[in-house]
Structure 1
Amino acid sequence: MDDKALKARVEAELEWEPSVDAADIGITVEDGIVGLNGHVPNYAQKVAAEAAVKRVKGVRGFVEHLQVQPTPSAHSDDAVASRLASILDWTVEVPADQVKVKVENGFVTLLGKVDWQFQRAAAEHAVRPQQGVRGVLNEIQVKPHAQASDIKQRIQAALERRADIEANQIVVTVVGDTVRLDGKVRAWFERDVIEHAAWAAPGVAKVDDHIAIGL
């Protein structure tokens, strides 16, 4: 697929995605590498735009320079932090009193320790779409509580269960609580599926994804 056709596909996918206002997003494509420029009104739309691009067949890489330009708000960082803390308290997937919020100029940092990656992800998902949030840095740590050999076995078994993944093309290496993924897949969504499977294993605190994308 040439770059012109790929750009048309990306444009169509962004227009199709209901959670993204693509009016102020510019798209460039060179050798299958997609670039996004411009601005969106909130951080949730920025994340949704990234996800939409990754879904498109033929995308080999992705460079994102979108800026978040929220609607002017009278809310201070203290008010935003207080609201986010309350939201996390009501988010059932996030363990009580384990996650702290810091806000500076609208940029949110999440701190703390949890037992599972899904809890870490749930905290970020809860704060992303909130008014006044311009960006999220997730520094929540996952507590290690499994042996490296057990982690590797669980990840490989999960990949083999997936009909849309050729598990024999993926190499999983585990050192301590860190997983390294190597190999090659046909599309970006397959890479995301594999990374999600790695994060789902108990005891994983970090995933280094080195999987290449290509036919």
Structure 2
Amino acid sequence: MSALELRQNVLDELEFEPSVNAAHIGVTAEGGVVTLSGYVESYLQKLSAISAARRVKGVKAIADEIDVRAPADKKTADDEIAKRALDMLAWDTVVPPGITVLVRDGWVTLSGNVDWHFQKRAAEDDIKKLSGISGLSNNIQIAPRIKSENVKAKIEDALKRHAATQAKAIRVTVRDNDNVLLEGKVDNWQERRAIERAAWSAPGVQSVEDRMTIG
């Protein structure tokens, strides 16, 4: 597939995605790397545009240069965003108490500690839904757990159980017993995300470094 064909396919997918106003989004493509530029009116639209580009066959990597520019009459004050964010987190039974929220110029930063990665991701998903935000930094830390001697084996077993992954093509390295490195080649973004989730599901994992490639 040529770069021009890939670019057009991404543009078509953005136009097809109902949650994205693609009128001000630019697309370039080279060697399977797609660059998204321009601007949208909400952070959720930005994430939806990136997800739409990932669905296109032939996209190996995405460079995100999209800005969030809310109309002047729809801008939300930082204190109002902070209050909404705290309410959202409090209503979510998956997210434990103690998460702090800092908002500056519409950019939300989350801090605090949780026991599991899915709790950290749940907090992030809650904030993504808020209107008026321009970006999000998730600095929530996963609290250290009792060290497991079989982290590598647990992850490899999880990959074997997952029908959407090719476990034999993935190399799993565990450093300091809680930092996971993933290497190898996958067929698509969905498989890549499934492997990342499997790595995060192992007890005690503090970080996952994804060096997998799509090909």
Superposed CA offset, 1:65-102 (max 9, x none): 0000113346321221112111110012101x221100
Superposed CA offset, 1:166-193 (max 9, x none): 1011011112321110111122332222
Q: TM-score, normalised by structure 2?
A: 0.93
Over 4 Å off, 4+ runs: none
SS at match of 2:150: helix
Structure 1's unaligned 5+ residue stretches are none
Root-mean-square deviation over aligned CA pairs: 1.5
Partner Cα distance (1:100, 1:213) in 2: 36
The answer for the alignment partner of 1:22 in structure 2 is: 22
User: Residue 121 of structure 1 aligns to which amino acid in structure 2?
Assistant: R
1:109 aligns with 2:109: yes
User: Which stretch of the first structure deviates more once superposed, 72-81 or 122-131?
Assistant: 72-81
SS at match of 1:98: coil
- Residue correspondence of structure 1 range 150-189 to structure 2 within 5 A: 150-175=150-175, 176-189=177-190
Please state how far the C-alpha of 1:149 moved relative to its aligned partner: 3.5
SS at match of 1:13: helix
Structure 2's unaligned 5+ residue stretches are none
- Residue correspondence of structure 1 range 1-215 to structure 2 within 5 A: 1-72=1-72, 73=74, 75-95=76-96, 97-175=97-175, 176-214=177-215
Please state how far the C-alpha of 1:151 moved relative to its aligned partner: 2.3
Please state how far the C-alpha of 1:208 moved relative to its aligned partner: 0.5
**Percent of aligned positions with the same letter in both sequences?**
44
Higher RCO, Cα 8 Å, sep 6+? 1
Partner Cα distance (2:195, 2:161) in 1: 11
Report if aligned partners of 1:101, 1:108 keep a CA contact under 8 Å in 2: yes
Partner Cα distance (1:200, 1:136) in 2: 23
Report if aligned partners of 2:75, 2:132 keep a CA contact under 8 Å in 1: no
Count of residues paired in the alignment: 213
Superposed CA offset, 1:47-75 (max 9, x none): 11111211221112211100001133463
User: Residue 80 of structure 2 aligns to which amino acid in structure 1?
Assistant: A
SS at match of 1:204: coil
User: Residue 202 of structure 1 aligns to which amino acid in structure 2?
Assistant: P
Partner Cα distance (1:148, 1:210) in 2: 23
Please state how far the C-alpha of 1:164 moved relative to its aligned partner: 2.3
